[in-house]
C-alpha cells in the first residue's frame, strides 16, 4: 500500500512539474517595443536593449516575451501600432524617440512606458519633470535640442568658409520643430544664415533638394526626425553629389556618406532602458523613477566624404572623433 502511495505521489509530482512550468511560461512578462523606424534601422538598438535585459536576468523567449511593432518611417502609422500593442495587455511598453512615445501615451495612461532616446520629454509634454516624471512614463532622454547648436559649431569648425546652411526639418515632429526654433540663436552667433526646408513627407525631398541648390547653400543639416533616418542614404547622397558639407544626429547618416554626426550613443541608451524595465517588473512605479540623460556621446567623421568635398580635416579634430570612416 505504501509502495502504491509512493508511486502515486511520484506520478502526481511528474505531472505537476510540467504544469507548473507551463503556468510560468504563460505568466512571463510581455514587453511591447514600438519604433517609428524600420526593423533594420532599429535592430542594433533593440539588440543592445536585449543585452541589457540579459545582464539583468531577463531573456527573450525564456522568461520574457517581446512584441515588436515598426512604423517604417511613417509616423502616421504609430497610433494604430500603439493600439495593437496595448491590446496585447503588455506589462511595459518601450519606445524609441518622441513620436512613438506620444503615440504610446495617447494609447494608454496606465501601462508603464519606458522611453529610450526621445528629445526633450518635458518640453514636448511627455513628463512633468526629469526628477519627477509622474504618470506612467519614465526612462531616458537624448536632449537632442541642446545638441543641435553643437552640431552647427562642429560643422563650422570643419568647414569654416560656410555662411548659408540648408536645414531639413519636419514641422509635425515635435522635436524637429523645437530644434528648428532653438538653433536660431546659435546660428546667428556663428554667422550662419539658415534656409528653412520643411519636409513632412518623403515625396517632398526632391523638391526641397532643388530649393536648397537654388538658394546657393554651402552646407546642410538634417534635424532629428524618423522620416530622415529612413531616408538617410538619399539625403547623404544629395549632400555629397552637390558638394555640401553635412552634419547629422546619428552615425547611420555618416555611414551612408554624410560628413559628420554628433550625438548620444543610442545603443547605450537602449541598453540602459533595460534597467528601467527590470525595476518596473519588480514593482517600481514609473512616475517615481527619475529620467536620466546620456553619458556617452559619439563624434563620427567620414574621411572619404571629406576628401570628396575638398576638405582637409585637422588632426586635432580627428583626434576627438570616436569613429573615423575611411
Let me know whether 282 and 309 are in one domain. no
Is 291 in contact with 121 (CB distance < 8 Å)?
yes
| In-domain check, residue 137 | yes
Let me know whether 99 and 155 are in one domain. no
Let me know whether 113 and 193 are in one domain. no
* Domain containing residue 244: CATH number: 3.40.50.2300
Let me know whether 163 and 277 are in one domain. no
Let me know whether 181 and 246 are in one domain. yes
Let me know whether 199 and 308 are in one domain. yes
**Closest by Cα among 224, 79, 67 to 141:** 224
| In-domain check, residue 188 | yes
Let me know whether 187 and 134 are in one domain. no
Is 220 in contact with 239 (CB distance < 8 Å)?
yes
Residue 145 confidence (pLDDT): 66
Name the region of 125 (left: φ>0; alpha: ψ -120 to 50; beta: rest). Answer: left
Residue 283 confidence (pLDDT): 97
| CA 7 – CA 92 distance, rounded (Å) | 44
| CA 92 – CA 178 distance, rounded (Å) | 28
The parent domain of residue 302 ranges over 144-264+298-325
Let me know whether 107 and 194 are in one domain. no
Looking at the structure of the chain, the number of domains it has is: 2
| In-domain check, residue 75 | yes
Let me know whether 260 and 171 are in one domain. yes
Let me know whether 54 and 202 are in one domain. no
CA distances from 101 to 46, 93, 309 (A): 16, 9, 38
β-pairing verdict for 260-264 and 297-302: antiparallel
Residue 19 confidence (pLDDT): 42
| In-domain check, residue 1 | no
| In-domain check, residue 76 | yes
| In-domain check, residue 4 | no
| In-domain check, residue 2 | no
Q: What is the mean pLDDT of each run of 10 residues along the chain (326 residues)?
A: 40 43 63 97 97 98 98 96 98 97 98 96 95 97 84 96 97 94 95 97 96 97 96 98 97 97 97 98 97 96 97 95 96
Let me know whether 22 and 151 are in one domain. no
| In-domain check, residue 250 | yes
Residue 113 confidence (pLDDT): 98
Residue 146 confidence (pLDDT): 73
Let me know whether 315 and 206 are in one domain. yes
Residue 143 confidence (pLDDT): 81
CB atoms within 10 A of CB 157: 14
Residue 193 confidence (pLDDT): 98
Amino acid at each position: 500500500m505504501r509502495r502504491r502511495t509512493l508511486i502515486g505521489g511520484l506520478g502526481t509530482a511528474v505531472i505537476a512539474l510540467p504544469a507548473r512550468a507551463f503556468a510560468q511560461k504563460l505568466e512571463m512578462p510581455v514587453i511591447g517595443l514600438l519604433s517609428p523606424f524600420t526593423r533594420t534601422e532599429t535592430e542594433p538598438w533593440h539588440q543592445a536593449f536585449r543585452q541589457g535585459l540579459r545582464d539583468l536576468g531577463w531573456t527573450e523567449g525564456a522568461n520574457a516575451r517581446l512584441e515588436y511593432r515598426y512604423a517604417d518611417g511613417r509616423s502616421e502609422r504609430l497610433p494604430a501600432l500603439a493600439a495593437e500593442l496595448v491590446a496585447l495587455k503588455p506589462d511595459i511598453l518601450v519606445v524609441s524617440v518622441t513620436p512613438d512615445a506620444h503615440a504610446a501615451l495617447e494609447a494608454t495612461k496606465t501601462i508603464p512606458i519606458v522611453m529610450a532616446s526621445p528629445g526633450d520629454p518635458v518640453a514636448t509634454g511627455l513628463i512633468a519633470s526629469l526628477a519627477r516624471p509622474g504618470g506612467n512614463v519614465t526612462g531616458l532622454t537624448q536632449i537632442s535640442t541642446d545638441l543641435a547648436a553643437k552640431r552647427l559649431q562642429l560643422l563650422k569648425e570643419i568647414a569654416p568658409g560656410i555662411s548659408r546652411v540648408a536645414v531639413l526639418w519636419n514641422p509635425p515632429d515635435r522635436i524637429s520643430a523645437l530644434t528648428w526654433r532653438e538653433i536660431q540663436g546659435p546660428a546667428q552667433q556663428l554667422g550662419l544664415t539658415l534656409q528653412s526646408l520643411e519636409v513632412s513627407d518623403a515625396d517632398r525631398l526632391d523638391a526641397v533638394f532643388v530649393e536648397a541648390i537654388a538658394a546657393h547653400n554651402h552646407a546642410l543639416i538634417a534635424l532629428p526626425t524618423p522620416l530622415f533616418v529612413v531616408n538617410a542614404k538619399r539625403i547623404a547622397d544629395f549632400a555629397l553629389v552637390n558638394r555640401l558639407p553635412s552634419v547629422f544626429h546619428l552615425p547611420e547618416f555618416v555611414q551612408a556618406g554624410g560628413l559628420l554626426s554628433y550625438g548620444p550613443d543610442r545603443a547605450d541608451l537602449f541598453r540602459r532602458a533595460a534597467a528601467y524595465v527590470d525595476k518596473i517588473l519588480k514593482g517600481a512605479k514609473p512616475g517615481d523613477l527619475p529620467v536620466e540623460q546620456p553619458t556617452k556621446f559619439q563624434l563620427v567623421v567620414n574621411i572619404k566624404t571629406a576628401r570628396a568635398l575638398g576638405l582637409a580635416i585637422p588632426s586635432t579634430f580627428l583626434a576627438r572623433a570616436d569613429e573615423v570612416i575611411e
